Chain A
């Protein structure tokens, strides 16, 4: 960001001026999301998939299912891995190459929400303890970056998991063989991730790329179906006071309910 400091400052002034009047550049209120579009079963070859649009932000999530070894410390649990790829087509600022800290953070925060809410019963998808388990790969492909990639990705991941069909299997002398039949992946929860940005004294939901460029701090909160917090991540180099954290939690819970409804209806 430093090399674009002058532009950033102008941008910040412009965005702050509008925020001071309780509005945003694109006409939204501070706690409004952009239009959310969820398209499940976007792909044929993946076991599950979904594409999510958050305004112009666009994320495609693909689920691939395989069999494999469990982790040594969780021998009786299926393996869930979440990875994110910031494709260079998504933004002029994305370069091809190994994942940078933003994409590692994104994948880990999405993973944390799913794991903490225990949306997938990993024990149920263990086939032979210590030996063979289902391996569920959640791959998040960022196709256009217009801000708030975390919420779009988390939503795409859940929508894709909802559409996931696991291959049925049979055991032949302790070997897991996939059959040509499927059953739906069972989900016990639908965690929803809500990110908020702090610009000056304002707290805004679903920041755009421009807002992200100038904001002081982001706070991401995942909320489970009971309205409890199931993951949090503060990012960015400014502090938050306790009142702001409280306000963000309330806002996050409110927004999560709305988005979960959208996800269930899609």
Chain B
């Protein structure tokens, strides 16, 4: 973009030292909120996200209950201190849209039909935001859903790819998202081969789109392993101590 800004990619290396096709370090923990039926905490670079799952429980208001399946409710919410400058805690239009696409991304993975008339609530609180938060929320939410014991067809992985300074790169951070020329967040069920979230802004040629999509799916595969690890770790701990350690 403007010439007085530092370059984001020098010799195929990004500002934070990553290669073009490298995801940020990710840490996932499950079972971190004592009062939730399922929960997870995720760090991806500077992203810090807590997800709590409540339910299956009775649906309120009752007239909105679905006699055939559970209603999935999702809320994507950013803490006022999660961004610079501070953001208003009131839900923005962006929050409304992201809550919806996150719900759409998770729905196909859940056996909602097992819980007619019930509701399942997924609340994602962004404590610190550093790009690709919607993907990070989906990753954390599917771990929290499994943690809640809700039957799932597959874990949902999510990762963004995009175009920065002419290069197709994986897992954009905040500055790459803002200065880059395209952002393609993807959610995917690896076992079922289905894309459940697909959005794009910026400009990509059809060839670049293919490349970015493949890259995002590759990133998703790595995240899939980390999700499974997080779940295994929790249950291993539970086996040893008979209960979950308080955090």
- Report whether B203 and A237 are in contact in the complex, using a CB–CB cutoff of 8 Å: no
Closest chain B CB from A230 CB (angstroms): 5
Q: Give Cα A118 to B189, complex, Å.
A: 33
The main secondary structure of chain A at its interface with chain B is mixed
- Report whether B194 and A241 are in contact in the complex, using a CB–CB cutoff of 8 Å: yes
A208 beta carbon closer than 8 Å to chain B: no
Closest chain A CB from B141 CB (angstroms): 14
Q: Give Cα A242 to B127, complex, Å.
A: 33
A240 beta carbon closer than 8 Å to chain B: yes
Q: Give Cα A15 to B201, complex, Å.
A: 33
- Report whether B198 and A240 are in contact in the complex, using a CB–CB cutoff of 8 Å: yes
Closest chain B CB from A38 CB (angstroms): 25
User: Nearest residue in A to B192 (C-beta to C-beta)?
Assistant: A239
- Report whether A235 and B101 are in contact in the complex, using a CB–CB cutoff of 8 Å: yes
In which size bucket is the chain B interface?
35 or more
Q: Mark A114-131, 1 if CB is under 8 A from B, else 0.
A: 011100000000000000
- Report whether B213 and A230 are in contact in the complex, using a CB–CB cutoff of 8 Å: no
Known A112-B201, A228-B203: A105·B100 in contact at CB below 8 Å = yes
Q: Mark B167-210, 1 if CB is under 8 A from A, else 0.
A: 00000000000000010100001001111111111111110011
A266 beta carbon closer than 8 Å to chain B: no
- Give every chain A residue within 8 A of B182 (Cβ-Cβ): 116
- Report whether A117 and B203 are in contact in the complex, using a CB–CB cutoff of 8 Å: yes
- Report whether B107 and A237 are in contact in the complex, using a CB–CB cutoff of 8 Å: yes
Q: Which of A115, A117, A226, A233 has the most CB of B within 10 A?
A: A233
B47 beta carbon closer than 8 Å to chain A: no
- Stretch of B5-13, B90-98, B218-226 with 4 or more beta carbons under 8 angstroms from chain A: B90-98
Q: Give Cα A228 to B181, complex, Å.
A: 13
- Report whether B104 and A107 are in contact in the complex, using a CB–CB cutoff of 8 Å: no
- Report whether B198 and A219 are in contact in the complex, using a CB–CB cutoff of 8 Å: yes
Closest chain A CB from B218 CB (angstroms): 13
Closest chain B CB from A25 CB (angstroms): 25
- Give every chain B residue within 8 A of A238 (Cβ-Cβ): 108, 194
- Report whether B67 and A101 are in contact in the complex, using a CB–CB cutoff of 8 Å: no
Q: Give Cα A72 to B86, complex, Å.
A: 12
Q: Give Cα A72 to B84, complex, Å.
A: 12
- Give every chain B residue within 8 A of A117 (Cβ-Cβ): 203
Known A101-B99, A104-B96, A219-B198: A228·B206 in contact at CB below 8 Å = yes
Interface residues of chain B, those whose CB is within 8 Å of chain A, are 66-68, 85, 93-94, 96-97, 99-101, 103-104, 107-108, 182, 184, 189, 192-206, 209-210, 213
Known contacts A116-B182, A236-B104; 19 additional CB pairs below 8 A are A117-B203, A224-B203, A226-B205, A228-B203, A229-B209, A230-B201, A232-B198, A234-B101, A234-B198, A235-B104, A237-B103, A237-B104, A237-B107, A237-B108, A239-B108, A239-B196, A241-B193, A242-B213, A249-B209
